[in-house]
A and B are shown apart, each in its own frame.
Chain A
Amino acid sequence: MSRRPAIHAAMFLLLGLGAWQLASAGWIHAKALLAQRLIASAWTQARDGGPARRPWPWADMRPVARLTLASRNVDLYVLDNASPRSLAFGPAHVGGTASPGGHGNTVLVAHRDTHFAFLERVEIGDELEFETAYGRRARYRVREVTIVDQGESRVLDEAGEALLTLVTCYPFDAVLPGTRLRYVVIAGRMA
């Protein structure tokens, strides 16, 4: 029958398309997971006071802090470059905001479907721990959760106190990328 080759062709095309899309989706998640493993060893060195090493030779960034939320099983290495490229590998410190663990407003961003997917479950009162270079530790308590427009750069403004601001895209379960909204979690430094 003359239909068969066409059906076969369609089948292989669809198979190919499916495999390609699944692989792309898998690649995003695989990068997110694998990179954090590679970054872990670079971090150990930075924490012990050595020069922060690049996790792999051609990397565009270095780890600068470690963020943990024990109650929700979160353990992430924070990078120093918030470009779209390095966001694939981990949460990043937004340049120009207070340095991690420092005085002022420290802003971190990460993808809503990988590293910062946990923000959806974060509640006011949760405690975050931040470990920075030379093994310094700082604890923060979540005090505010809000949703803003992407243009609201005030989220990045300096503050008179030590704040940790975590930003990711919203809604969390959106299918299409490119939302204008941002989910913002603001935590204040505890003693």
Chain B
Amino acid sequence: MDGKAAPTRTPTDLVGDMIELVARAFVGGVAAAVAMSLAILALSATAQAATVNEAKTGELLLATQTAGQYTVAPRIATEVAIEVSGMVARTRVTQHFHNPGSEHVEGVYVFPLPERAAVDRLRILIGSRAIEGRIREKGEARRIYSQAKSEGRKAALVEQQRPNLFTNTVAHIGPNERVEVTIEYQQALGYENGEYRMRFPLAVAPRYVPMGESAPIIGPRTRTAEAASGATLINPVDIAVFIDAGVPVASARSSYHEAAFSKAGDGRLVVQLVKAQEEADRDFELTWSLSPANTPRAALFTQSQGSIDYALLMVVPPQPTAAERAAFRAMPREMILVIDTSGSMQGASMEQARAALLMALDTLGPNDRFNVVEFNSVTRPMLPGAVPATSRALADAAAWVRKLKANGGTEMAGALTFALDGRDTPGYLRQVIFVTDGAVGNEDALFKLIQERLGGSRLFTVGIGSAPNGHFMTRAAQFGRGSFTYIGNVNEVNDKMSRLFAKIESPVLRDVKVHWPDGTPVETFPEQVPDLYLGEPVLLAAAARAPLGTVVVTGTSGNKPWSVALTPDADRSAAGVGALWARAKIAAHMDEIARGTALEEVRPKVVKVALEHHLVSAYTSLVAVDVTPTGPMGAIATALVKTSMPHGAANGTDLPQTDTAATLQLLLGLLALLAAGMAAVVGRRAELAGVA
């Protein structure tokens, strides 16, 4: 710095200095502005990354087998046609693959389907030729597919990756060629509070997990912006639903998407999306109800296949009267509230969990008993045992809950062992509310623990945060004979928790048993009917080696016995009931793994059922192969079609995010320091100029 010479400077020097000063101030200002905007960029780095990176990679350019060489991935348009008949829906998903590139490619498409979808049909259409898929053991299916691929023949392979996630691999899509792949599945509809409910999982944009703890979902925002700007959809999805309820539908509603409703000539209700959707942040959900006079109280659908009768049974328990509900409520409860305070719960999750717990405390009355337990690396109960819920005790508990902080590991076993002691407290309904994000690795061991120690308790899991382990919590609640509630954001806490508490305040029907005609050997799933809460139906799939007669369902409603008799109605014979039963049986077999049965023992059982019923499972796949070769022999490029991830499962499905902001921060830090240096120089100059 040459400022020291200032006193002897000439006027010309001074002018030069002034110009330099202005120039430096300008540069400094620009640098500061750049630094500031970069800082802002850093703060929103996760949001920017999606678009920046996508623009850079063009998102459909993907690696080939030679590193550094890329090809254009095929595009997919998906058409979904869902036919609803009574309690059953059959869905046909048609994927139109188009290869815009100049080479033969293999397209890989990962897509979500509903959890209990029984996938039983695959068909590829090339021009006017249709090829039916066959069910094969997974390894064999892959061999058949690979061989066809190496011989230059078109082939398609549908594999189950997870119970709700499938891949479709299509070999030899020629340059500018279109191949149509159709997959069909069967599913039983949800029915609750007098409403039918059907979901079709739609694509969801990737969820970025930055190195920090919270995982903001940025997908929906960028996606919606794109869709709104009229950008062409890369993999559009079109959905049409045809509802044949047998009686008129009173009301129907699409929960998250704009849909058009119309009546077809044959009396069916037709629902169509107003515009083709892509990567919405939510599943397509359709609910509808029948007029009260037609609302089913019980239904029995049957299907005969060979010597076996399959049945799907639904019974809606009686709605309790006001007096009965008051009586339920008077039944004292012992509620154990367990809260996960591990490090992964930090931030918004912890807030939601606290809010949920405080709501739970609010529902307790003076006749109830309760305790609160927190766990992270260690389990820390508020009190050594449950105590009566006096207003004093509740106030203490609320204060205790408010002070909870998230830190440490997730040792769930200790908390479960404490909460589930395998004992009943006589005269009390024992309910364990377990609030967690379920970030655990030892799921199977925990399931086993729940089964062994449940006793008369019921376990209700509450999933918190943007990426809870839904699979773990759903299963844990099943083993705990309770239910799973998912809370996606703080605004939902009130609504979802009130619904949960309204439900568990009144078990409408307990000790449910299904009595089949004497002497008919029947295999049912689920084997044990859980307690039913307000608005829930009994839903059961059964297979019998003899024609089914009258079925009687009994239970205890309040303190009174309750029963209903059902006779199969010849008119209500429904296709696909067998497939649903088989799918339920496969799920039951897969559960055995959680209970400690060796994989080698379970696998053949699953394969047997799946092959008999032509179903895709963890160990069986559908494969279709063209007869004549149309592509080159040998290796071809593999391209992954932009995938659709179910909301909430994206985290588990994507490969983990493994970059940090370190480079960015280093760069920003240096820039800011540089700018600070400039500001210092400018400041010094200003000072000296003032002296001069």
Contact = CB atoms under 8 A, between A and B. Distances in A.
Contact of B664 (A111, A175, A179): A175
A61 B686 CA distance: 56
A116 interface: yes
Given A11-B680, A151-B206, A153-B161, A180 B663 contact: no
A15 B676 contact: yes
13 contacts: A7-B686, A17-B668, A19-B669, A21-B39, A28-B211, A29-B662, A95-B441, A113-B662, A149-B642, A155-B655, A176-B664, A178-B50, A182-B658
B687 A112 contact: no
B680 A177 contact: no
Residue among B39, B408, B679, B680 with max Cβ neighbours from chain A (10 Å) = B679
A48 interface: no
B262 interface: no
Contact of A83 (B344, B653, B654, B689): B344
Interface in B136-150: 139
B666 A180 contact: no
B655 A150 contact: yes
Interface stretch (B60-68, B329-337, B527-535, B567-575): B60-68
Contacts of A11: 676, 679-680, 683
A160 to B, nearest CB: 8
Given A81-B441, A178-B45, A21 B666 contact: yes
Nearest first, the 8 A-B pairs at minimum CB distance are A178-B49, A21-B669, A18-B672, A22-B669, A14-B676, A151-B643, A18-B673, A11-B679
Nearest to A160: B139
Contacts, number: 229
B213 interface: yes
Given A21-B665, A180-B57, A167 B655 contact: yes
Given A22-B666, A110-B658, A148-B640, A17 B672 contact: yes
A82 interface: yes
Nearest to A92: B656
A84 B657 contact: yes
Contacts of A114: 660, 662
A24 B661 contact: yes
A148 B67 CA distance: 10
A34 to B, nearest CB: 15
Given A58-B377, A151-B110, A180-B206, A169 B659 contact: yes
B110 A4 contact: no
B59 interface: yes
Contacts of B682: 7
Interface of A: 1, 3-4, 7-8, 10-12, 14-15, 17-25, 28-29, 54, 57-61, 80-85, 87-88, 94-95, 109-114, 116, 145-157, 160, 167-169, 173-182
Contacts of B656: 82, 84, 87, 94, 109, 167
Nearest to B62: A149
B641 to A, nearest CB: 9
> Which of A3, A15, A20, A84 has the most chain B CB atoms inside 10 A of its CB?
A84
A145 B409 CA distance: 34
Given A4-B686, A82-B656, A153 B110 contact: yes
A79 B676 CA distance: 41
Contact of B663 (A25, A57, A145): A25
B660 A10 contact: no
Given A14-B32, A21-B665, A22-B666, 16 more contacts: A14-B673, A18-B669, A20-B669, A28-B211, A58-B376, A84-B212, A84-B657, A87-B656, A109-B658, A111-B211, A151-B654, A153-B655, A176-B49, A178-B46, A179-B53, A182-B658
A120 to B, nearest CB: 12
Contacts of A149: 62, 640, 642-643
B32 A10 contact: yes
A11 to B, nearest CB: 4
Contact of B672 (A15, A152, A175): A15
Given A84-B212, A178-B210, A14 B45 contact: no
Contact of B670 (A18, A82, A145): A18
Nearest to B661: A177
A9 to B, nearest CB: 9
Nearest to B684: A7
Interface in B197-224: 206, 208-213, 215
A174 B659 contact: yes
A113 B342 contact: no
A175 B667 contact: yes
A147 B409 CA distance: 33
B566 to A, nearest CB: 42
Contacts of B161: 153, 157
